[in-house]
A and B are shown apart, each in its own frame.
Chain A
Amino acid sequence: MMISNEALAAGLAQAVARHLGAAVGSKPQVAELARLTAGAANETWSFDVIGRLASGEQRRIGCILRRSPGIGDEGKSDTNLGKAGEAEVQRAARDAGVAAAEVLFILSPEDDLGDGYVMARLEGETLPRRVLRDAEYADLRTHLARDCGITLAQLHSVAPARLPTLTTMGAAEQIERYGEVYRAFGQPVPVFDLALRWLADHRQEPARLTLVHGDFRNGNLMVGPEGIRAVMDWELAHLGDPMEDLGWLCVTSWRFGEIDLPVGGFGRREDLFAGYEAAGGGAVNPDAVRYWEVFGTLKWGIMCMIMTHSHLSGATRSVEKAAIGRRVSETELDLLNLLT
């Protein structure tokens, strides 16, 4: 659903009054509405709510809207969680102690703004290259890998009963799914076939099934100089092998050039594992983490193909999507390094 900024601001003001009620007083206003990111699957908007309470006191709340514009299937997550489900997972994780933005409300049908939710806006750094290079984060980089381990242990401890219904996706389902997607493009990448075969041959049973974030990496973490402020982008959440999140965080593509520091380009695996175990995540299986790192490297390569074919098919023409097809070779080299 396409919508003008004016219509969105007016609709949001009504939705805020409907869902937040007395917390923002009567006739709340929406100001400073600005789109932060746009995509076929997701739009992110920033805005302020200005309300006047019954006491006469003015109240200003910084907000983020995450919304699915609902155009096309490209980029649609394979978890089919929907924005409401995403919000519920984020809320449950925050309740369990995971650093995440507070969900203020989920859009309802009478809001007529599509599928989405509104959360409190936090301040912090999300750009990987700044996290890896700015002097401001030099101290953070000494403990961020351990902090990630602690956060993942908390995330994997969220009681399933507190979560919405989630798809269970283990290694077998994901290899099958991404293998099919890759083969359907009819574009031969022999290293991908080698990796798919290796993944099928080396599959191991997970020690347990837990909530898996699905996209926990440098770039989806909001940090401050003191530590992680928020885990973002919950749309790929599912039930699966918790080691998947640890492996994905170590994929070379998410090291942003700092390839000797496997954890997000900022830390060592030992520190990630130690933080995870110290925070009650249970014993880390380094072989399983490595397995998921191989899978994650392949998955990112196939995701690059998916994006570039969405340009080639005409679904979403974009020079950025055209260019990303030429990043497949990066993942091929990283896969060869892992497999041979």
Chain B
Amino acid sequence: MATDRPTVPELVQAVREFLEAEVQPSLDGSVAFHTRVAVNVLKIVERELAEGPALAAAEKSRLVALLGHDGDLDVLAEELIEAIRAGRMDVQTPGLTEHLRSTVMAKLAIDNPRYQSYQRALQGGR
């Protein structure tokens, strides 16, 4: 179904801007705190809408390379978990920690790009 403008990202942005500019300043106490949390949640949604599909595609191609066969992202991710739980893969497995690091960095790009450990890792440090 083709919907009209605004697009979903534009709608979420509108709500987030309203909360930030008009609601937040008029509140205090726990409602103000929870409004700040709500604004942060909408920022996560905005980043995921923009970057999520590309990051998921990259995760899938890494998993295909690591596991040696194709499949749905969910199924491949489950297979990786099984391999780690069974002890068939660990920190010594070539490519595993690189894959996990890339996956976690992609999640943090969406969840909380201001996290200090993430900022440090972007600069190549830890």
Tell me, yes or no, whether A4 is within 8 Å of chain B by CB: no
- Number of residues of chain B lying within 8 A (CB) of chain A: 34
A252 and B85 CA atoms in complex are apart in Å by 26
B112 and A329 contact, CB distance less than 8 A: yes
A190-B84, A257-B116 as given contacts; A329 in contact with B97, CB under 8 Å: no
Partner of A259, one of B77, B87, B91, B120: B120
A334 and B108 CA atoms in complex are apart in Å by 12
A190 and B117 contact, CB distance less than 8 A: no
**A239: min CB distance to chain B, Å:** 30
Partner of A333, one of B37, B85, B121: B121
Give 1 or 0 for each of B81-117: 1 = CB within 8 Å of chain A CB.
1001101001100000100110111011011100111
Of the 9-residue stretches A56-64, A90-98, A127-135, A317-325, which lies at the interface with chain B?
A317-325
By a CB distance below 8 angstroms, the chain B residues around A259 are: 116-117, 120
Number of A-B contacts (CB under 8 A): 84
A194 and B117 contact, CB distance less than 8 A: no
**B79: min CB distance to chain A, Å:** 10
A188 and B40 CA atoms in complex are apart in Å by 24
Partner of B112, one of A327, A334, A336: A327
The bracket for how many chain A residues form the interface is: 20 to 34
By a CB distance below 8 angstroms, the chain B residues around A337 are: 117, 121, 126
A319 and B30 CA atoms in complex are apart in Å by 12
Tell me, yes or no, whether A203 is within 8 Å of chain B by CB: no
A132 and B24 CA atoms in complex are apart in Å by 26
Tell me, yes or no, whether A27 is within 8 Å of chain B by CB: no
B104 and A319 contact, CB distance less than 8 A: no
Q: For the complex, would chain A's binding face be called helix, strand, loop or mixed by DSSP majority?
A: helix
Closest to A37 in B: B30
Residue with the highest number of chain B CB atoms closer than 10 Å, among A252, A255, A326, A337 = A326
**A339: min CB distance to chain B, Å:** 6
Tell me, yes or no, whether A332 is within 8 Å of chain B by CB: yes
Closest to A335 in B: B104
B117 and A322 contact, CB distance less than 8 A: no
B112 and A333 contact, CB distance less than 8 A: no
A190-B84, A259-B120, A340-B97 as given contacts; A197 in contact with B90, CB under 8 Å: yes
A191 and B103 CA atoms in complex are apart in Å by 10
A194 and B112 contact, CB distance less than 8 A: no
A320 and B112 contact, CB distance less than 8 A: no
B108 and A190 contact, CB distance less than 8 A: no
Tell me, yes or no, whether A330 is within 8 Å of chain B by CB: yes
A188-B78, A190-B81, A194-B84 as given contacts; A336 in contact with B90, CB under 8 Å: no
By a CB distance below 8 angstroms, the chain B residues around A330 are: 108, 111-112, 115, 117-118
A197 and B108 contact, CB distance less than 8 A: no
Give 1 or 0 for each of A254-265: 1 = CB within 8 Å of chain B CB.
010111000000
A323 and B90 contact, CB distance less than 8 A: no
Jot down 7 A-B pairs with beta carbons below 8 A, ordered by A. A190-B77, A194-B100, A197-B90, A323-B40, A323-B41, A333-B101, A333-B104
